[in-house]
Amino acid sequence: MTTHEESARPTGREELVDEVLLAGRELSTAAVLFHTALASRQGLSATDTKALDLVARLGPMTAGDLARHLVLKPASVTALIGRLEDKDALRKAPDPGDGRKVVLHFNEEFAARNLHYFADLVGSLRELCEHYTDEQLATIASFTKEAAHRQAEATQRLA
């Protein structure tokens, strides 16, 4: 932490909660801007890159599953899948359990070709983690996961 950040630490519970909420807003903005810049480099949209992240993290899924995760209409997801196929980022394959369905698979070669875009950020974040104890990192991870879950729920309610 910088000296300014240390001296500007809030003291009361309400101030701490406000600080956490503000930090979340700042992180959200930084993430959107990063993924917008990343998508631009790849010739994709930010939504395209988030769709790729979902398939990469959650594993193969149908277009309907992807639409539900992204809270998008099926027609929008169809166009999105087309863009990702054109970039060789996703591939379709018959569902082994139901040959009438198509399953989307993340192309690991696409990831390998684009890994360099993340190297600086990931290295910097790993360095930041060195400033925290294992217990603090566990708390940060727990809070971040739960905040993401609650934001996903709020997104579903807005849709």
CA torsion angle for 88, 120, 155, 66 (degrees, to 10)?
20
The pLDDT assigned to 3 comes to 46
pTM of the model: 0.78
Residue 94, both tokens:
């018959």
Domain ranges of the chain: 15-107, 115-159
Per DSSP, the three-state class of 88 is: coil
Q: Which CATH architecture has domain 15-107?
A: Orthogonal Bundle (1.10)
The pLDDT assigned to 151 comes to 93
Neighbours of 60 (CB within 10 A): 16
Q: Which residues contact 158 (CB under 8 A, 6 or more apart)?
A: 71
The pLDDT assigned to 8 comes to 67
Residues (pLDDT < 50) of the chain are 3
pLDDT in tens, 131-154: 999 999 999 999 999 999 999 899
DSSP 1: -
Tokens 């082994």, residue located: 96
